[in-house]
Amino acid sequence: MSRILPRTSDYFSRSDYLQVFWLRRWESQAMLDSVGEETITPIGGLSQTMLRVPVLSPDGKPLMPTQPSRARRWIRDGLAVGKWSDLGMFYVQRVEQTSGEETQPIAVGVDPGKLYSGIGVQSAKATLFMAHLILPFQTVKDRMEQRRMMRRNRRGRRINRQLEYSKRAHRQQRFDNRRRNKLPPSVRANRQFELRVVTELCRLFPVSKIVYESVKARGSKSFSPVMVGQKVMLGWLSKLAPIETQLGYQTASLRTQLGLVKSQDKSSKTPESHAVDGVTLACSEFIKYKPFQTAKTHGHTWKGSVQLTHAAFVVIRRPPISRRQLHLMVPSKGGVRRKYGGTMTRHGVRKGDLVRASMDRRVVMGWVSGDTARQVSVSNCDWKRLGQFTASKVQLIHRATGLLVSRLHYLLVNGPSIA
Question: Which of 205, 221, 412 has the alpha carbon at shortest distance from 311?
Answer: 412
Confidence class for position 289, pLDDT limits 50, 70, 90? confident
Question: Which of 143, 227, 148 has the alpha carbon at shortest distance from 187?
Answer: 227
Question: Which of 309, 365, 312 has the alpha carbon at shortest distance from 26?
Answer: 365
Q: What is the DSSP string of 64-121?
A: EEE-HHHHHHHHHTTSEEEEE-TTS-EEEEESS--S------EEEEEE--SSEEEEEE
- The model's pTM is 0.82
- Report the interhelical angle of 14-35 vs 68-76 (nearest 10°): 140
- In angstroms, the Cα distances linking 96 to 58, 75, 83, 102, 203 are 6, 12, 16, 16, 19
The least confident of 54-63, 280-289, 338-347, 378-387 is 338-347
Element (H, E) at 56: strand 53-56
In angstroms, rounded to a whole number, what is the distance separating the alpha carbons of residues 133 and 11? Answer: 35
320: left (phi over 0), alpha (psi -120 to 50) or beta: beta
Confidence class for position 333, pLDDT limits 50, 70, 90? confident
Confidence class for position 158, pLDDT limits 50, 70, 90? confident
- In angstroms, the Cα distances linking 277 to 95, 136, 162, 263 are 36, 20, 61, 11
Beta carbons within 8 Å of 371's beta carbon, 6+ residues apart:
345, 346, 347, 377, 391
Question: Which of 10, 153, 128, 118 has the alpha carbon at shortest distance from 63?
Answer: 128
pLDDT of residue 23: 43
| Angle (CA) 278 284 285, round 5° | 110
Element counts in the chain: helices (H) and strands (E)? 7, 19
- pLDDT above 70: percentage of residues in the chain: 81
In angstroms, rounded to a whole number, what is the distance separating the alpha carbons of residues 326 and 408? Answer: 39
Indicate if the pLDDT at residue 24 is higher than 60.
Answer: no
Averaged pLDDT of the chain: 82
Question: Which of 331, 354, 333 has the alpha carbon at shortest distance from 405?
Answer: 354
- pLDDT above 90: percentage of residues in the chain: 48
